[in-house]
Amino acid sequence: MTEKVINQKTYDIAIIGAGPAGSTFARLISEAKPNLSIALIDDRQPDWQKPCGGLLSSDAQKRLAEQKLTLPKSVMADPQIFAVRTIDLEQNLDCSYQRGYFNMDRNAFDEWLISLIPNQVSILRQRCKNIQDGEDGFILQLDSKDEIKSHYLIGADGAASMVRRTFFPNKKSNNYIAIQQQFKRKDLNRAEYYCVFDQVTSDSFSWFFNKNEYIVYGGAFPKQNSRACFEEQKNKFAEKMNYDLSDILKTEACQVVFPRKKKEIFFGSDNIFLIGEAAGLISASSFEGISYAIESGKKLATAFQNVNFEDPIKTENHLEFNAHHKVKNHPEQSLIKTYEKLMRKTKFKLKLKMYKRDILCSPFLRKIIMRSKVHALKFR
């Protein structure tokens, strides 16, 4: 039996996902073209936390600086750590390297980016249950039984992207399971950030850090037996580094993109666009994705800004879908090709990160690098 539609609204653009990619695109395109009607759909709750280190890399900081954005104090987490201690549990290796990460509350960071979006954007805190390609646009079914129509569809919905799975099932990405646990921080004087390798439990790496009154251990694992591998690795780390990780406060898990090939990076087709992790934009060597999310949101907004739209015929509530609201013919490239061209350097950079991942995650090569002590910090 078909569910009865309670309400139906129409938009020029529907964005699925309000992470850094979706919120950046929504903000920039609405500022550049305030007459466009835009819906941003995301079902995250105030207490929801993505299994993420919540460390803002120097590249992500640069992306924010380029947009003249400064972080509010409410986003900051304690302590700020300036070095990462890299350990190999299997090969008994231990080195520390300087890093310029900013320790932050990831959920507060995402909410801050959302707060910057102009009021004309409709922010819908709901789950998108289904997406269909209709004759005059896309039809999105929401949890509330409302329906949305849109001419353009933006997939900013992460590694398990519904947009990518629905419309591009052959464009598969290599996904791992990110698992993270939170514990009470008992020793406030001990503040360290670890990058953990253990070839027995994962061919990727894990992370351990302090955040406010908590300590967090997390990592990326192949889907098969991921939870058992996580527990085995966590216990090995706790024993070796003398941490008590028995008092678990919270366990979180989600899929994370772990790109191995350049073809896994895909930006969409026709009137469907993928940004952030949904496009496969994440570093294979560090799982850093915030900088690429912000960059792809900005580049897609730039592609849209360079397109001339015919003046839409708006109704009183500015939500009436206008089938004649079309893109004028571009003399050189279509919208998707313009976006792909703008992301060409980023795609090449991510390919280099895949090579770097192959080096770092090779036990033999990692052993050579860490024993050489190149760029390692020297402590008394």
Query: How does DSSP assign 172-203, residue by residue?
Result: ---EEEEEEEEEE---TT----EEEE-TTT-S
Crossing angle for the helix pair 363-372 and 344-360, nearest 10 degrees? Answer: 90
Phi, psi of 330 (to 5 degrees): -80, 135
Q: Determine contact, residues 205/85, Cβ cutoff 8 Å.
A: no
Which token pair is 127?
């789950």
Provide the pLDDT for residue 297.
98
Provide the pLDDT for residue 51.
65
Which token pair is 226?
């991921």
Distance CA 87, CA 96 (A): 9
Phi, psi of 104 (to 5 degrees): -145, 165
Which residues contact residue 364 at a Cβ distance below 8 angstroms, ignoring those fewer than 6 apart?
A: none
In 10 A of CB 80, how many CB atoms? 11
- What does each of the 380 residues of the chain score in pLDDT, given as a tens digit? 344 444 568 999 999 999 999 999 999 999 999 999 999 999 876 566 666 778 899 999 999 999 999 999 999 998 888 899 999 999 999 999 998 889 999 999 999 999 999 999 999 999 999 999 887 789 999 988 889 999 999 999 999 999 999 999 999 888 999 999 999 988 777 888 999 999 999 999 999 999 888 899 999 999 999 999 999 999 999 999 999 898 899 999 988 988 888 899 999 998 999 999 999 999 999 889 999 999 999 999 999 987 765 544 333 333 444 443 444 444 334 899 999 999 999 999 999 999 999 999 899 999 999 999 998 998 76
Domains of the chain: 8-372 (3.50.50.60)
Which helix (H) or strand (E) element contains residue 151?
Answer: strand 147-155
Provide the pLDDT for residue 329.
46
Provide the pLDDT for residue 146.
86
CA dihedral (88, 94, 100, 106) in degrees, to 10, reads 40
Going from the C-alpha of 87 to that of each of 47, 193, 199, 269, 380, the distances in angstroms are 32, 11, 12, 42, 19
Q: Tokens 């007459």 — which residue?
A: 35
Angle at 104 between CA 49 and CA 218, to 5 degrees: 55
* Largest interatomic CA distance in the chain: 72
Provide the pLDDT for residue 191.
80
The answer to whether the Cα torsion of 164, 165, 168, 171 is positive or negative is positive
Count how many residues are written for the chain. Answer: 380
Provide the pLDDT for residue 5.
47
Distance CA 268, CA 264 (A): 12
Rg (the chain; Cα; Å)? 22
